[in-house]
Amino acid sequence: MDTLVTVAIVAGLSGLTLVTGWAVYRLLRAVTREDRPVLMHRMLQRQGLSLGRLEHSTELGRAAAAVRRCVVCRDRETCLAWLEADGKTGYEGFCPNADFIARLKAEAAA
């Protein structure tokens, strides 16, 4: 009986590992499959901001996380359409980096 339980546990963990590996593979393939320029740079330019002023490692870490969010963003088409328009507002509803941009704007104003 102990052997059956051990086999069941090993099989379950193996299956879980395979499913997780497959999901990670699909995510990485989706990101690297196409040329996905980081739109965050254009978004920041539209707001009159730049990442060039970041000096501290915590700020750089936040910027790196923002870039990762931008690369895997599901609202890419919405973002492209917004960038083609002339406005400076309205991105807050779809951009996963809206809080990051707001923080940069507040710091630039101070």
Cα separation, 36 vs 46, whole angstroms: 19
Q: pLDDT of 79-101, one tens digit each?
A: 999 999 977 889 999 999 999 99
pLDDT digits 0-9 by tens, 19-63:
888 888 887 776 665 556 678 888 888 888 877 777 666 778 888
Domain segments of the chain as ranges = 1-34, 35-110
pTM for the complete prediction?
0.60
Conformational region of residue 48, where left means phi above 0, alpha means psi within -120 to 50, and beta covers everything else: left
Is 82 buried (19+), middle (13-18) or exposed (0-12) by CB count in 10 A? buried
